[in-house]
Amino acid sequence: MTGQYTKICSLSDLREGEVRSFSANGREIVLAIQDGAVYALDNLCTHDGGDLGDGELKNGHVECPRHGAWFDIKTGAAIRMPAVEGIQTYEVKIENGEVFVALAE
């Protein structure tokens, strides 16, 4: 489900290969840039509530800093234990150098 697009940050606030957390419309999300594309996901690991904004981005997945669970940045799927439940992903658009995310209603 797509919600209204909300401005999160400027594209210049993000760096290739890094994950950064943001708060918007009562949600905690992370943004990641991989191969020039920006991805948005929920911030908390489904295994133990780890802050994915403190995790690492590697080969298309973000790694939870607590126990090493991996989540696919495109789909949100849990791809390495101990997490078995995926996380929400969000549509992203870039306009005039600003990053907007469609937060679910």
Where in the chain are the domains?
5-102
Alpha-carbon distance of 33 to 46, in angstroms, equals: 21
Q: Amino acid identity, residue 31?
A: L
- pTM for the model stands at 0.92
Q: Is residue 64 classed exposed, middle or buried when 0-12, 13-18 and 19+ CB atoms within 10 A define those classes?
A: buried
Handedness of CA 38, 39, 45, 47 (dihedral sign): negative
Can you name the CATH fold of 5-102? Rieske Iron-sulfur Protein (2.102.10)
Residue 50 reports pLDDT greater than 70: yes
Alpha-carbon distance of 100 to 89, in angstroms, equals: 13
Residue 80 reports pLDDT greater than 70: yes
Residue 15 reports pLDDT greater than 50: yes
Handedness of CA 86, 65, 68, 10 (dihedral sign): positive
Residue 83 reports pLDDT greater than 90: yes
